[in-house]
Amino acid sequence: MKLYPAIDLRGGQAVRLYQGDYDQMTVYNADPVAQAQQFIDAGAKYLHVVDLDGAKDDTTANMQTIAAIAKLGSLKIEVGGGIRDEARIRQYLDLGVDRCILGTVAVKNFAFTQEMAQKYGAQIAVGVDMKDGFVAVNGWKEVTPEPGVAFCRRCAEAGVKAIIATDISRDGTMQGTNMALYRELLTIPGLEITASGGIAAMAELAELQAMHCHAAILGKSIYTGAIDLAKAVRLYEGE
């Protein structure tokens, strides 16, 4: 199972939000590049980056920071937040980012998502945020009537290879992740599932690994020390 430590970027700093709320933000490192290096030093091979400014205001203010992280050279990086067109996808791939995550646009413009998935293959993932089982978009402010699992099935049928699934109610809360959700998503053929949101203990990583979850994203748990990243990488990461 691949482990993706997470860096959420806001104003050039590494931060965490509580349940996606920009007003409940904690700064964990003023230097995200140094933070990425710390993850490398702990043995991380992968990195999950969210451009919160891009997601909220459609800016590219954090592009240089992401480029600097990519230049470290030893991380496979996936980036989400504000990716709404092919030009932005190309920008990120040209910087050395390995995978772009389509969020709101995947729901709002499904034809575009299908086209990008077919054109770029494994370089595209869809981030599916769910609240009470339904897909949420626009920074989690708008909940759609479509069940998250049904949307993930639709993505798989359209040729999407990877889903990053987040239960919003758990994200940043340290309350534990929604195992039932991932168990259900893992029954969808042909999809790599990444668990995201609320993972708070090593035992949860063991459970996700046992159910053959492809990857897990670790955010607040590693910043607070609830999970030791170096130990988690040693214990649970394997191709």
Active site amino acids = 8, 129
Helix (H, G, I), strand (E, B) or coil at 167: strand
CA distance 51 to 9: 5
Dist CA 176 CA 139 (whole Å) = 21
Nearest C-alpha neighbor of 101 from the set 137, 125, 77, 76: 125
Which residue, among 80, 92, 100, has the nearest Cα to 20 in the 3D structure? Answer: 80
Radius of gyration for the chain, computed over Cα atoms and rounded to the nearest angstrom: 16
Q: Tell me the torsion sign for CA atoms 56, 60, 64, 70.
A: positive
DSSP string spanning 119-137?
HHGGGEEEEEEEETTEEEE
Distance of alpha carbon 153 from alpha carbon 149, whole angstroms: 6
Are the C-beta atoms of residues 126 and 163 closer than 8 Å to each other?
yes
Q: Are 14 and 51 in contact (CB under 8 A)?
A: no
Burial class (CB in 10 A: 0-12, 13-18, 19+), 61: middle
